[in-house]
Amino acid sequence: MKLIQFVLPLGRSRLVRSGNLPGIVIRALVAVAAAALLTAPAASRADIMYVSGYGNDTIHMFDLATGADLGVFSGSFGLFEPSGLAFDSAGNLYAANFGHSNISKFTPNGVGSIFASGLNWPEGLAFDSAGNLYVANEFGNAIGKFTPDGVGSVFASTGLNRPHGLAFDSAGNLYAANFGDSTIEEFTPGRVGSIFASGLSGGPNSLAFDGAGNLYVATYGNIIEKFTPGGVGSVFASSSDGLSDPEGLTFDSAGSLYAANFYAGTIEKFTASGVGSVLASMYEPYNIAILVPEPSTFALLGLGAAAVLRIARRRR
């Protein structure tokens, strides 16, 4: 009778006598394990930061841990003054082309296509929980909404003044940074708009939420402001912390904040307490996207094995 080792969640393992499990279960688990080994990627895209290069029409990749330049993700198909970036749940990357007034879509392998066109100088991008893509049209003073199939409609056209960054909170409310009048507009899922914050320094560029629901706003005045869910604001970082026209903001899964400094040509990384350091450098960085980690094949296999072991115990 053979012993089989199953890898369980959190790195634990257990040896099980094959006679204690049905033969069909053993064969299925072995097949899944083999498939996982054959298809596992050499490196996870969740460890990579993607940055749009506005001035050289590229999307650059950087190692999130070290800041090492990993080269160009896609520097040819359809990119012209790329601004906003966003990933969908399948790992496809979307880029707003400010100069072409369209949106490029790239598969995980970098194959590009035009997802939407006929926009009006698109800036920020954001996905809702249903997979719909929202686009801030800066000079159209409107926010467009596109279904996963590319069917477009107008989500909002009031309360907007040169909208730049977009971000959703955990309740599904959409926030828009109005560069033209230095306000943040909040829209409910029912499209009812109201002013969330006003009087921002120099015009807001980009928005990002942390895990606690606080909203961070990068402004042309070389400041990142932090707003509580109740709208109470404070300065999180300023030019003395290395900010120089911060355009893009995003958080990683560990809670660190990244800012794309357009004029300085740097990517600044901030701890939760506001301590900043330069992670990477490139020409005219505009926006940042990090792929949110998904459960790995091995983690899912471990969960499945754990469930099978529980079933086997009940049968003994």
Alpha-helix runs per DSSP H in the chain = 23-39, 297-315
Q: pLDDT tens digits for 203-234?
A: 999 999 999 999 999 999 999 999 999 999 99
**CA atoms of 58 and 77, how far apart (whole Å):** 9
Residue 58, beta-bridge partner list:
53
Check whether residue 179 and residue 35 sit in a common domain: no
Residue 139's domain comprises: 46-290
- Are 258 and 157 in a shared domain? yes
Is the same domain home to 248 and 145?
A: yes
Q: Which residue would you say has higher pLDDT here, 299 or 221?
A: 221
130-188 residue pLDDT tens: 999 999 999 999 999 999 999 999 999 999 999 999 999 999 999 999 999 999 999 99
pLDDT digits (tens, 9 = 90+) for 28-85: 544 444 344 334 444 566 789 999 999 999 999 999 999 999 999 965 678 999 999 9
222 & 75 share domain: yes
Residue type, 150: G
Residue 5: its pLDDT value, please? Answer: 41
Angle, helices 23-39 vs 297-315, to 10°: value is 170
Say yes or no: 21 and 170 in one domain.
no
> Does one domain contain both 80 and 112?
yes
Which phi and psi angles does 314 have, rounded to 5°? -65, -30
64 with 112, same domain? yes
pLDDT tens string 234-261: 999 999 999 999 999 999 999 999 999 9
| Predicted TM-score of the model (pTM) | 0.81
**Burial (CB count <10 Å: 0-12, 13-18, 19+), residue 83:** buried
The band of 294, judged by pLDDT with boundaries at 50, 70 and 90, is low
Same domain assignment for residues 72 and 212: yes
How sure is the predictor about 26, in pLDDT bands with cuts at 50, 70 and 90?
A: very low
What CA–CA distance (Å, rounded) separates 215 from 234? 11
CB atoms within 10 A of CB 248: 28
Are residue 138 and residue 57 in the same domain, yes or no?
yes
The amino acid occupying position 265 is G
Contacts of 259 (CB under 8 A, 6+ apart): 218, 224, 237, 243, 246, 248, 249, 267, 268, 270, 288
Co-location of 178 and 211 in the same domain: yes
Query: What CATH number is attached to the domain comprising 161?
Result: 2.120.10.30
Q: How many domains does the chain have?
A: 2
Mean pLDDT of 277-293: 92
Same domain, residue pair 305 and 283: no
Residues 29 and 83 in one domain: no
What share of the chain has pLDDT > 70, as a percent?
A: 77
